[in-house]
Amino acid sequence: MNSALLIGVVASSVMSGTSLLYATIGEIVGERAGIVNLGLEGIMLIGAATGFAATALTGDAYLGVAAAALAGTAVNLIFAYLVIGRHANQLATGLTLMFFGLGLSALIGRPFLGTLIAGLPKLRLLGLGIMGNPLLSFDVLVYLAVPAAVLVWWLLFRTTWGLGLRAVGENPVAAVAAGLSPSRLQYQALGLAGLLGGIAGAHLSLAVTMTWAEGMTAGRGFIAIALVIFAKWNPLWAIAGALLFGGAESLQLQLQAAGADVSPFIMNMVPYLLTLAVLIAWGWRRQGAAPAALGRNFVGVE
């Protein structure tokens, strides 16, 4: 394996894994509060389309990221209202959200198909690329991804807010007894999740491809949902998971460029097989890391 290949793989895994990481930590926040959002794909698409549209209109990619974050939050709050306020079935609502995102993003993005944008500028850390290699200079979202994951970890595990949130996800009745308001915490969690999901989508359209195409997330939202489980609902593990999944996708392309004979399909299967294997292994060892009340609609003493 030559060094060009290695650097190339790392760089492309990082690019590929960044949006996965944002989406995954967002979903972790929501699931830790007891709500599973199968519509993450839709949120990411809306983020991608809104971010692209805003960037095309204003010429400022950072504004685009902000717009994407706002849009993601807003739409996820609709989801939040349905599952929290109306006690709707989380899976059905989530899938509906996915379809909604597919459609809305297509409508938003349509006038901007083929528009050229400069995208998020690549920044160099301290004036140098990482290890002095110009290849390893990335946009701001990449640099902020790991700090964001650490921040979410800190929020979940080192603050009272996070403690309350996790309590709601484990045992909502006990949480109420302790004086917490499950629905308020869940709304907050889903708002944050929407923000992160929107940013995840924006990274795809503003940094990775610098374009908009219908359905461009290509299932990454669902991959993120699998990653949440892979990461055992812990944002720090999600970093490794995102790199792994991002890496698998780009590794086979890099190997091809280097002349190796790999079947792209087999390589693309590896992340999913790995996730499945890991899940089975944990199930075997009875490590139920999921929040106990995940997926259940709390109809309680409110």
Number of residues that bind other proteins (CB under 8 A): 80
Lookup: tokens for 114: 């083929």
Q: What is the DSSP code string of 175-238?
A: HHHTT--HHHHHHHHHHHHHHHHHHHHHHIIIIISSS--TTTTTTHHHHHHHHHHHTTT-HHHH
State the amino acid at position 189 in one-letter form. Answer: A
| 34-73 residues near other proteins, rule: CB under 8 A | 38
Does position 87 interact with other proteins (CB under 8 A)? The reply is yes
The verdict on 128 binding other proteins (CB under 8 A) reads no
Q: Which residues contact 111 (CB under 8 A, 6 or more apart)?
A: 53
Residue 205 burial by Cβ neighbours in a 10 Å radius (0-12, 13-18, 19+): buried
Give the per-residue contact string, 267-286, with other proteins (x = CB under 8 A; - = no): -xx--xx-xx--xx--xx--
Taking the least distance from each CB to other proteins, the nearer of 155 and 243 is 243
Residue closer to other proteins by CB (options 151, 300) is: 300
Query: According to the binding rule CB under 8 A, does residue 124 interact with other proteins?
Result: no
CB of 235 vs other proteins, minimal distance in Å: 19
Separation between Cα atoms, residue 103 and residue 95, nearest integer Å: 13
Nearer to other proteins, 153 or 230 (CB): 230
Return the range that interacts with other proteins (CB under 8 A); candidates 54-62, 65-73, 192-200, 257-265.
Answer: 257-265
Residue 21 interacting with other proteins (CB under 8 A): no
Asked if 15 touches other proteins (CB under 8 A), the answer is yes
DSSP letter (8 states) at residue 137: -
With binding defined as CB under 8 A, does residue 11 bind other proteins?
Answer: yes
Is 114 a binding residue for other proteins by CB under 8 A? The answer is: yes
Tell me which residue of 118, 193, 180, 116 sits closest to 152, measured CA to CA.
Answer: 193
Applying CB under 8 A, among 20, 28, 65, 98 the residue interacting with other proteins is: 98
Quick check: 100 binds other proteins (CB under 8 A)?
yes
Identity of the residue, 152 or 204, whose beta carbon is nearer to other proteins in the bound complex: 204
Q: Judged by CB under 8 A, does residue 229 bind other proteins? A: yes
- 178 in contact with other proteins (CB under 8 A): no
- Dist. CA 265–CA 285, nearest whole Å: 31
Cα–Cα dist 201/68, whole Å: 8
